[in-house]
């Protein structure tokens, strides 16, 4: 083997290794919301259409979070903070680690497959987790009043301890028009959306009270099952 042939082979192997590593990185990516650990340029703050301006999460040492909202903010439905990113795939899965605040009604959550205009959320699928439930809503905007409307789809009667960290997993498929959901070790809930189209955008949503989001992991494909299977 000549030196030139050996050099070409080494370059080829290096290229294959780099491609393999890039593919591995693409297969799963975790974003830590700790201070200095995430890139705000990859995320887009959104508001509900009637909000006068975009609200942002507070950066804490190890998380992004919301503080207590005032009674006036709650009355005006301003107790919502949204942050969106692009997962890069409409056939994927993500999971977010979070903590529920102590206030009654606090419901941190996620949204997926949104549509938006400017910085205003128009439609989407929202999943909120309170201490007493996981609830799923189809979000839309009234074309005349611009008010955000919520169609309640399903809820899980399940207790989540506000004092500990929880994990919410979401799998979504444009081809199947389906979403699979699991909070901690709950049964998997499957929903089919016959009209709302699944896309690659996902986000975190702070709602009603204090909460913290610690990290979010994205991966193509997914691990949550679409149907039950007999034990092995």
Look at the domain 28-220 and name its fold.
Answer: Jelly Rolls (2.60.120)
- Of 102, 95, 103, give the one whose Cα is nearest residue 166: 95
Mean model confidence pLDDT for the chain: 88
- Of 10, 82, 83, give the one whose Cα is nearest residue 41: 83
Q: Is the pLDDT of residue 222 over 90?
A: yes
How much is the pLDDT for 79?
A: 78
Helix (H/G/I), strand (E/B), else coil: 27: helix
The domain spans of the chain are 28-220
Q: What is the dihedral of CA 127, 219, 64, 126, to 10 degrees?
A: -10
How much is the pLDDT for 26?
A: 59
Burial tier of 19 (Cβ tally within 10 Å: 0-12, 13-18, 19+): exposed
Average pLDDT over residues 50-76: 87
Read off the pLDDT of residues 145-166 as tens digits, 9 standing for 90 and up.
999 999 999 999 999 999 999 9
Read off the pLDDT of residues 192-202 as tens digits, 9 standing for 90 and up.
999 999 999 99
**How do beta strands 178-183 and 189-192 pair?**
antiparallel
Cβ neighbour number for residue 196 with a 10 Å cutoff: 17
| Cα distance between residue 47 and residue 203, in whole Å | 12
Which residue(s) pair with 203 in the sheet? 84, 111
Residue 8 C-alpha from the chain's centroid: 44
Q: What is the dihedral of CA 16, 220, 91, 171, to 10 degrees?
A: 170
Any idea what DSSP says for residue 131? T
What's the whole-model pTM score?
0.86
Read off the pLDDT of residues 32-41 as tens digits, 9 standing for 90 and up.
999 999 999 9
Given its phi and psi angles, is residue 132 left (phi above 0), alpha (psi -120 to 50 degrees) or beta?
A: alpha
Helix (H/G/I), strand (E/B), else coil: 32: strand
Helix (H/G/I), strand (E/B), else coil: 8: helix
| Cα distance between residue 176 and residue 193, in whole Å | 9
């Amino acid at each position: 083997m000549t030196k030139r042939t050996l050099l070409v082979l080494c370059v080829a192997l290096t290229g294959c290794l780099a491609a393999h590593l890039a593919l591995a990185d693409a297969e799963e990516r975790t974003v830590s919301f700790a201070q200095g650990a995430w890139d705000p340029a990859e995320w887009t703050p959104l508001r509900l259409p009637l909000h006068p301006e975009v609200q942002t999460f507070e950066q804490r040492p190890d998380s992004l979070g919301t503080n207590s909202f005032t009674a006036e903010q709650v009355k005006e439905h301003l107790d919502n903070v949204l942050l969106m990113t692009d997962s890069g795939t409409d056939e994927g899965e993500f999971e977010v680690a979070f903590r529920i605040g102590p206030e009654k009604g606090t419901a941190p959550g996620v949204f997926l497959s949104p549509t938006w205009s400017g910085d205003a959320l128009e439609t989407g699928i929202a999943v909120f987790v309170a201490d007493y439930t996981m609830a799923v809503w189809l979000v839309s905007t009234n074309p005349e009043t611009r008010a955000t409307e919520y169609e309640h789809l399903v809820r899980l009667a399940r207790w989540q301890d506000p004092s500990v960290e929880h994990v919410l997993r979401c799998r979504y498929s444009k081809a199947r028009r389906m979403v699979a959901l699991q909070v901690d070790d709950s049964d998997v809930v499957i929903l089919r959306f016959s009209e709302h189209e699944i896309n690659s955008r996902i986000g975190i949503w702070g709602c009603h009270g204090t909460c913290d989001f610690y990290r979010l992991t994205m991966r193509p494909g997914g691990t949550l099952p679409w149907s039950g299977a007999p034990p092995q």
